[in-house]
Amino acid sequence: MAHFLFGAAVAPPPVDDRGLIDRIVGAYRRAVGTPLGSADSMWLRGPLLETRQDVHEALIGGDASRVRDLLRDPGSTDLLRGFEDLTRSFRTEREPTLDARAFAFGQYLNLLRLCEAVGVRRIRHHDQPEPPQPEAEELLRRLDARFGFTVDFPNPFPDELGLATSRGISSYRAPAAIYQAWRIWQLVGDRPSPRVLEIGGGLGRTAYYARKFGITDYTIVDLPMSLVAQANFLGRVIGARHVRLYGEEEGSADDVKLLPPAAFLAGGGRYDLVLNVDSLTEMARDTAQAYCNAIHDRAGIFLSINHEGLPFTVADLVPSGFFQRSPSWMRPGYVEELGGAVRRSALVPRWRRRADRVLRMLRAGQWIR
């Protein structure tokens, strides 16, 4: 059995985050007054809404001390519930009986699955024994060599649980986010300054890793509370100056831009690729249809990774349909689908991907293995 360790993130050193927090509060107050779509969605009613009510009240109420406390330690609230384990609900309901070794092993398996997905570990053939399970650090070195940058796991908040590595705590969502960023780069990485939009960005991890692949013109569209989580994470890991919040003045195209739904649906911007992971089928159908119609009109490529356990699927909504469909590498029970104007002949050729990786590694001063 490979060596793996359970770990918990410690509180980072204090920083002056008052400017970032003030910006987050202002953007939330602006965004929460915009149309959010039909309330017939698990994200706009029921437990996910109710358990975040205290966060909403703090952001609206003007208690600066309370807002600072909850944004510095979001795991003391349910701000991240629905897309991260770092929540008050997890702490009270699961953590007291958590099997730390089994939990760490689960995160190790996610890392192993990522290595299989990108081709740095072989898939077991049914006539052959299970391949050896290398140390987590060895898997990370293989990923570094494949991607041309150092894979890391930023932990800006205390008590994030997962697999302990020399690069941070690898929690449940991190390997999947790396995979999603890699797929974005595969599809549009050969284009000059590709424009990417993600609908439903979780914590913002995919945007973080996309920047490591050189994909910097990145927009996230999400509900106001989720935008708070993304601004809080990205502002701390890539720098507040590189994050543009809703209602702020225009900045660099290389900023990560955070928008509520209405700002995207009523806009006219075009994108080389739109990504949606684990959210369209959890919206009200008419809201999801509006998104798919906008994607059809304004995006070259649509990459969807969603489950099909609710009344409708993403494929039911896409006007042009999907031309590629496969089980998700990273999440059993999910399907990865590709649609839009791109065709197989337009996908990034292997020689170009190899050349781009070599150039990135040379710029980073790394020896090519």
Portion of the chain with pLDDT greater than 70, in percent = 92
Distance (Å) of CA 348 to CA 169, 187, 267, 327: 32, 6, 29, 21
88, 82 contact by CB (below 8 A): no
The fold adopted by the segment(s) 176-350 is: Rossmann fold (3.40.50)
**pLDDT at 346 exceeding the cut of 50:** no
Bigger pLDDT: 3 vs 116? 116
**pLDDT at 233 exceeding the cut of 60:** yes
Residues linked to residue 273 through DSSP beta bridges, in sequence order: 196, 301
Q: How far apart are CA 186 and CA 96, in angstroms?
A: 41
256, 242 contact by CB (below 8 A): yes
The pLDDT confidence band at residue 368, using thresholds 50, 70 and 90, is very low
Bigger pLDDT: 14 vs 174? 174
Compute the average pLDDT of residues 36-53: 83
Q: What is the model's pLDDT at position 238?
A: 98
**pLDDT at 175 exceeding the cut of 50:** yes
Q: What is the model's pLDDT at position 28?
A: 97
Q: What is the model's pLDDT at position 134?
A: 94
**pLDDT at 216 exceeding the cut of 90:** yes
pLDDT digit string, tens, across residues 183-211: 999 999 999 999 999 999 999 999 999 99
Q: What is the model's pLDDT at position 349?
A: 54
Domain spans in the chain, listed from the N-terminal domain onward: 176-350
Run of H or E including 234: helix 224-234
pLDDT digit string, tens, across residues 64-100: 999 999 999 999 999 999 999 999 999 999 999 999 9
Portion of the chain with pLDDT greater than 90, in percent = 81
